[in-house]
């Protein structure tokens, strides 16, 4: 297979050439990849008249156009660079092409993959986002290694996957940092540039045929940028598969600039230039903005169109403002032959009837394997992250000692009836409530999940299973130690079975709070809002659980039916009370002198705490266990529904706000993720 990744000629050479040579250089580049040469296994991406607007809450008023009628293409074996000043719409264009625009935007225009509106199979495309979302507790080697285990198919042995991971790490020049933790949150780990390269490693490990990269070289020095870009550009030299690479980039050096085949130059969402990178300076020179031979071409191009600082730039015909210069360039490009060529090319590529890519679907690790790897990775993360469980364990132990000493040796006096109730309600209310403390760590975990999910590394079910199984040992630890301290110091009802029940209910409550917070995290965008929301929900549940206001005294409408029965604290209070009072006898306060008058635990439960005695404490525990499953299934459903609803909502919004003349194409999610 021939590779078309021959590097374009230096842009500085072209600077000095005439308009004839400009046309010639355009033709030269075109010749390197004519339509007929588009590899049958490659991906051809075309986009036509793409508009992206933000949707303001009040409808059309106040909405802003981020992209304005962009047209272009990306071919196999070529590297397309998107350049422009900060805020010009580079990331938005990448998001649009990858089908991951945020829901507050509407998009119109047509995006075709190999001439079809089709989804990309898993493993055919990858997206390296502008922000690095990585598990901070893992080392570079672990992060890439786990990623290889998750993404590469089961047909590859563990050893082969490991070798691929090692090779990719070396490719990105990370061998010296291989055993360093990624770090974050005040824990220093690898540098920003190294994080960038870890993110790239994770996405190129499957050798995808379509690669989106958002600022892959930020944080890298010019030499590192060159090597990283060169390795990305020459990925196909290793396996002969021609890749389509679309990257946004801020400040490429001359050498990096020479790696680009095509350049899409944007300014405020408009195309200033689309075409061979080597001909860009020529285009600028023709419009009165010549680049000096010694100047870095990207410096020149960006300086000419950056209006953020409202500098005057020098043109051949006197001086003009940057805004005027941009207008000249934009209109010149619009009326240029080059623009016509791009439209023609897009029309031809769109018509080319390339077969659906499903038959080339790349496999990923099997479901069981993914669950095992995710459980292992999550366990390592939970173990190393102090904020996940260890901090809570310390505070729980301190609280348990406080509780045990305040309520030390309760005995079976009349006064101990109330004390038992207070102690148990504190344990089931406040102690479980504090489980919220692990939320920030979980949110970080979720961010990684969302990135990996969007890139199709694995599915929601595998994540939920991995998270559940990895958290069980830690929740058990956080439960058992404080439970032993509290139970035996305070002298709650003796008996092995009673303690086990107490610990089981506490364990279930903690698992439930974790599950509740998972649901909150999937709905609420950040951890501060998540903590407030989670605390609010739990506060209400504790209030109506049946201790602070007895069940029969709760207002019937809404608070008792249905909320009292929906709140899991109801079953926690009830189960713990039944476990404690059943089988005990307490002397009555005002019994006749000298007579042994007793009140039984059953009577206390029925008359004082108003517990439902028609079922046993085991039913309460069973309900709690059932609720854990229910909450986790709910989390799974929310993620799935959100994913399914996003394109529909986008489509509806486009239909609502778009003018009738415009064709509507809602991008399908190109990252067809495994259903599990
Ligand atoms: N979902 C959104 N809602 C509102 N505004 C948005 C949204 N997405 C992007 N924008 C706006 O669109 C403009 C382009 O954003 P974008 O992130 O694409 O810029 P960029 O070229 O990638 O910038 P940078 O080089 O700094 O990463 C910005 O002004 C940004 O505020
Ligand atoms: Mg960006």
Q: What is the CATH number of the domain that holds 39?
A: 3.40.50.300
Find where tokens 């200033």 sit.
272
Instruction: Classify strands 244-248 and 78-83 as parallel, antiparallel or unpaired.
Output: parallel
- HSE of 280 in the Cβ direction (CA atoms, 13 Å)? 34
Picking from 300, 328, 360, the residue at the C-terminal end of a domain is 360
- In the chain, the percentage of residues whose pLDDT exceeds 70 is 83
In the DSSP assignment, the letter for residue 42 is S
Residue 382 shares a structural domain with residue 353: no
pTM of the predicted model as reported, rounded to 2 decimal places? 0.85
Residue with the smallest CA separation from ligand 1 atom 19 is: 87
Give yes or no for residue 56 CB within 6 A of ligand 1.
no
Question: Rounded to the nearest 5 degrees, what angle is found at the Cα of 102, between the Cα atoms of 100 and 107?
Answer: 80
Give the number of other CB atoms < 10 A from CB of residue 161. Answer: 21
Is residue 650 included in any domain, yes or no?
no
Q: CA 476, 481, 482, 487 torsion: positive or negative?
A: positive
Cα–ligand 2 centroid distance for 84 (angstroms): 10
Picking from 345, 360, 375, the residue at the C-terminal end of a domain is 360
Report d(CA 337, CA 350) in Å as an integer: 20
Is residue 199 included in any domain, yes or no?
no
Is residue 656 included in any domain, yes or no?
no
Question: Rounded to the nearest 5 degrees, what angle is found at the Cα of 225, between the Cα atoms of 223 and 230?
Answer: 95
Residue with the smallest CA separation from ligand 1 atom 7 is: 54
Asked whether the predicted pLDDT for residue 10 surpasses 50, the reply is no
pLDDT band at 101 (very low <50, low <70, confident <90, very high): confident
Spell out the SS3 assignment of 120-181: CCCCCEEEECCCCCCCCCCEHHHHHHHHHHHHCCCCCCHHHHHHHHHHHHHHCCCHHHCCCE
Number of domains into which the chain is organized: 2
Helix or strand run (H / E) with residue 73: strand 65-74
Is the peptide bond between 562 and the residue preceding it cis, with omega within 30 degrees of 0?
yes
| Mean pLDDT to the nearest integer, 246-250 | 95
Residue 489 shares a structural domain with residue 415: yes
Report d(CA 144, CA 122) in Å as an integer: 18
Phi/psi region, residue 608 (left: phi>0; alpha: psi -120 to 50; beta: rest), is: alpha
**Which carries the bigger pLDDT value, residue 645 or residue 49?**
49
Residue 305 shares a structural domain with residue 236: yes
Report d(CA 297, CA 471) in Å as an integer: 53
Asked whether the predicted pLDDT for residue 216 surpasses 50, the reply is yes
**Per-residue confidence (pLDDT) for residue 120, from 0 to 100:** 63
First to last CA, the chain: 36
Give the number of other CB atoms < 10 A from CB of residue 184. Answer: 17
Give yes or no for residue 68 CB within 6 A of ligand 1.
no
The residue segments making up the domain with residue 236 are: 11-124+208-360
Is residue 264 included in any domain, yes or no?
yes
Ligand nearest to the CA of 66: 1
Is residue 474 included in any domain, yes or no?
yes
Q: Which of 65, 66, 251 to mutate to test the pocket of ligand 1 (most atoms within 8 A of CB)?
A: 66
Asked whether the predicted pLDDT for residue 660 surpasses 70, the reply is no
Give the number of other CB atoms < 10 A from CB of residue 294. Answer: 7
Residue 393 shares a structural domain with residue 501: yes
Residue 331 shares a structural domain with residue 463: no
Give yes or no for residue 651 CB within 6 A of ligand 1.
no
pLDDT in tens, 31-54: 333 333 444 568 899 999 999 998
The tokens describing 251, both together, are 């400040």
Residue 351 shares a structural domain with residue 377: no
**Per-residue confidence (pLDDT) for residue 437, from 0 to 100:** 86
Is residue 3 included in any domain, yes or no?
no
Give yes or no for residue 251 CB within 6 A of ligand 1.
no
Contacts of 432 (CB under 8 A, 6+ apart): 506, 509, 510, 512, 513, 538, 569, 572
pLDDT band at 23 (very low <50, low <70, confident <90, very high): very low
- CA-94 nearest atom, ligand 1: 18
**Per-residue confidence (pLDDT) for residue 454, from 0 to 100:** 86
Q: Which of 85, 92, 650 to mutate to test the pocket of ligand 1 (most atoms within 8 A of CB)?
A: 92
| Mean pLDDT to the nearest integer, 636-656 | 75
pLDDT in tens, 108-162: 999 999 888 876 665 678 999 999 999 999 999 999 999 999 999 999 999 999 9
The residue among 637, 209, 271 whose CA lies nearest residue 460 is 637
Asked whether the predicted pLDDT for residue 3 surpasses 90, the reply is no
pLDDT band at 236 (very low <50, low <70, confident <90, very high): confident
CB 574 within 8 A of CB 612: yes
Residue 333 shares a structural domain with residue 422: no
Residue 305 shares a structural domain with residue 403: no
Residue 461 shares a structural domain with residue 544: yes
Report d(CA 33, CA 37) in Å as an integer: 6
Is residue 246 included in any domain, yes or no?
yes
Give yes or no for residue 450 CB within 6 A of ligand 1.
no
Q: Which of 51, 62, 90 to mutate to test the pocket of ligand 1 (most atoms within 8 A of CB)?
A: 90
Ordered DSSP codes for 609-621: S---TTS-HHHHH
Asked whether the predicted pLDDT for residue 21 surpasses 70, the reply is no
Give yes or no for residue 102 CB within 6 A of ligand 1.
yes
| Mean pLDDT to the nearest integer, 633-641 | 92
**Per-residue confidence (pLDDT) for residue 28, from 0 to 100:** 38
Give yes or no for residue 263 CB within 6 A of ligand 1.
no
Residue 601 shares a structural domain with residue 465: yes
Q: Which residues on neighbouring strands pair with residue 82, listed in sequence order?
A: 248, 264
| Mean pLDDT to the nearest integer, 18-39 | 39
Instruction: Provide the CA 320 distance to its chain's centre, in angstroms.
Output: 44
Residue 353 shares a structural domain with residue 391: no
Residue 289 shares a structural domain with residue 387: no
Give yes or no for residue 53 CB within 6 A of ligand 1.
no
Picking from 344, 360, 376, the residue at the C-terminal end of a domain is 360
Is residue 676 included in any domain, yes or no?
no
Q: Which of 89, 102, 251 to mutate to test the pocket of ligand 1 (most atoms within 8 A of CB)?
A: 89
């Amino acid at each position: 297979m021939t590779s078309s990744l021959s590097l374009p000629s230096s842009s500085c050479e072209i600077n000095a050439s005439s308009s004839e040579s400009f046309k010639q250089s355009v033709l030269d580049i075109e010749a390197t990849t004519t339509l007929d040469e588009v590899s049958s296994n490659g991906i051809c991406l075309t986009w036509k008249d793409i508009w992206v607007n933000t949707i303001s809450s009040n409808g059309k008023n106040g909405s802003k156009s981020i992209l304005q009628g962009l047209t272009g293409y990306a071919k196999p074996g070529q590297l397309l660079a998107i350049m422009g000043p900060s805020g010009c719409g580079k990331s938005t264009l990448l998001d649009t092409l990858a089908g991951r625009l945020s829901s507050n935007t509407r998009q119109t225009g047509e995006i075709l993959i190999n001439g079809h509106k089709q989804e990309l199979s898993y493993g055919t495309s990858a997206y390296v986002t502008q922000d690095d979302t990585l598990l901070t507790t893992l080392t570079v080697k672990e992060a890439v290694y786990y990623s290889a285990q998750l993404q590469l198919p089961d047909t590859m042995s563990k050893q082969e996957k490991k070798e691929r991971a090692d090779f990719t790490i070396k490719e990105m020049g990370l061998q010296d940092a291989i055993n360093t933790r990624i770090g974050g949150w005040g824990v220093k780990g690898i540098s920003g540039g190294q994080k960038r390269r870890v993110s790239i490693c994770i996405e190129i490990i499957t050798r995808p045929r379509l690669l989106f990269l958002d600022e892959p070289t930020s944080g890298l020095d010019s030499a590192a940028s060159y090597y990283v870009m060169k390795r990305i550009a020459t990925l196909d030299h290793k396996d002969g598969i021609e890749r389509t690479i679309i990257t946004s980039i801020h400040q490429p050096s001359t050498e990096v600039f020479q790696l680009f085949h095509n350049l899409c130059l944007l300014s405020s969402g408009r195309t200033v230039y689309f075409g061979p990178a080597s001909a860009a300076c020529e285009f600028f020179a023709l419009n009165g903005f010549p680049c000096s031979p010694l100047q870095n071409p990207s410096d020149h191009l960006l300086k000419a169109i950056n209006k953020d600082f409202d500098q005057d730039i020098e043109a051949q015909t006197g001086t003009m403002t940057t805004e005027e210069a941009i207008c000249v360039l934009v209109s010149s490009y619009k009326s240029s032959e080059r623009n016509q060529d791009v439209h023609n090319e897009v029309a031809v590529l769109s018509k080319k009837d390339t077969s659906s890519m499903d038959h080339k679907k790349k496999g990923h690790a099997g479901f069981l394997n993914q669950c095992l790897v995710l459980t292992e990775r999550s366990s390592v993360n939970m173990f190393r992250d102090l904020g996940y469980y260890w901090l809570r364990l310390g505070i729980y132990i301190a609280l348990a000692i406080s509780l045990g000493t305040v309520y030390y040796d309760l005995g079976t006096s009349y006064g101990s009836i109330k004390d038992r109730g207070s102690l148990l309600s504190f344990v089931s209310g406040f102690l479980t409530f504090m489980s919220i403390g692990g939320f920030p760590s979980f949110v970080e975990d979720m961010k990684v999940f969302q990135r990996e999910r969007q890139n199709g590394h694995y599915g929601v079910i595998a994540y939920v299973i991995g998270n559940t199984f990895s958290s069980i040992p830690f929740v058990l630890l956080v439960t058992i130690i404080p439970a032993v301290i509290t139970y035996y110091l305070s002298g709650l009802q003796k008996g092995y079975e009673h303690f086990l029940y107490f610990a089981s209910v506490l364990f279930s409550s903690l698992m439930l709070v974790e599950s509740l917070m998972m649901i909150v995290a999937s709905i609420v965008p950040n951890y501060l809002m998540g903590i407030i929301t989670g605390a609010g929900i739990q506060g209400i549940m504790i209030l109506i659980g049946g201790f602070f206001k007895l069940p029969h005294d709760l207002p019937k409408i809404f608070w008792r039916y249905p909320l009292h029965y929906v709140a899991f604290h109801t079953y926690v209070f009830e189960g713990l009370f039944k476990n404690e009072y059943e089988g005990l006898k307490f002397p009555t306060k005002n019994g006749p002198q000298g007579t042994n008058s007793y009140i039984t635990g059953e009577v206390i439960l029925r008359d004082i705490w108003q517990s439902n005695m028609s079922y046993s404490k085991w039913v309460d525990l069973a309900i709690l266990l059932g609720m854990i499953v229910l909450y986790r299934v709910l989390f799974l459903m929310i993620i799935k529904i959100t994913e399914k609803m996003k394109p529909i909502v986008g489509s509806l919004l486009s239909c609502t706000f778009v003018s009738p003349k415009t064709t509507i194409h809602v991008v399908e999610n190109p990252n067809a993720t495994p259903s599990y």
